[in-house]
Amino acid sequence: MNKKSKIYIAGHTGMVGSAIYRKLVSENYSNIITRTHNELELRNSQAVYDFFNREKPEIVFLAAAKVGGIKANNTRPAEFLYDNLMIAANVIECARLSAVKKLCYLGSSCIYPKNCPQPIKEDYLLTGPLEPTNEGYAIAKIAGYKMAYYYSKQYGMNNISLMPCNLYGINDNFDLESSHVFSSLVKRFCDAVKEGKKEVCLWGTGSARREFMNVEDFASAAILLMQKLNSPEIINVGTGEDISIKDLAEKIASYAGFKGKIIWDSSMPDGMPRKCMDVSKLKSLGFTAQISLDEGIKQMIKYYQDISEQKQSD
């Protein structure tokens, strides 16, 4: 991948894709192509084939995906399975047919078994049952990785597959029906402060532990790995540190200025008990995350407040 390579970012309007786009632009990559969902339906195999045949990108970042939090995954598993299967199958197959030089597939830490040892090593994949609340999404992401892997083995494609931890940052989703835990907590506590609420009720017990990485750090890692990594085996991308959802909620509440009571609804699911990844392979390639969790929380609160104010003024 060089500065003039023709680079296609699938999903450039999403949180991850937009971060990769910003990072590439900042590093003077000058030949980036994109398509919005309305311009290119990635679940449509003919449309994807026509796009690749016409544009012939050299490099592909497959960041497009249907994503959501525990509620969305638990109530709409068929959608998460189908949409993500189709996106991966169409993009990887058409990348092969158009002789793409290198493809980066983005998975998720939810591909790992629900109760696997911690920290999670890459070779723990498929060693046990998945977390039921997001099994549909996880199966699709595993299938996408295996497709990228086997296409490398059978067809000689240069595919790499990155498994990020929980990501947050600019262009995150704050819709409580479909958002991830980090952005959901930011919205809940910022709104509670603004509305003068005395208490906030959250799902689960707060005991589940998660690893969080700012999407700007992830974008830096993705570009570095596209330059350095040439193996189809999965590689974990994260910070290697986790925090309980209870402690995260209290941190976000504090930075948002919420002084009320946090109530935990233990009748609702916690999801996977713990997800903290072993990132020794990532560190061996020269990458360490730069944005601390506390700094990231402050950035996200400001970002949410800014976009909320913008919506009010529109």
Known catalytic residues are 137
Task: Give the number of other Cβ atoms within 10 Å of residue 141's Cβ.
Answer: 26
Return left, alpha or beta for 196; rule: phi > 0 is left, psi -120 to 50 is alpha, else beta.
left
Which one-letter amino acid corresponds to residue 132?
P
The four Cα atoms 225, 229, 234, 236 give a dihedral, to 10 degrees, of -40
Task: Give the number of other Cβ atoms within 10 Å of residue 284's Cβ.
Answer: 9
Handedness of CA 15, 76, 141, 182 (dihedral sign): positive
Which has the closest alpha carbon to 15: 298, 274, 212? Answer: 212
Task: Answer yes or no: are the C-beta atoms of 250 and 141 closer than 8 Å.
Answer: no
The CA distance from 235 to 285, in Å, is: 11
Task: Give the number of other Cβ atoms within 10 Å of residue 248's Cβ.
Answer: 22
The CA distance from 264 to 161, in Å, is: 36
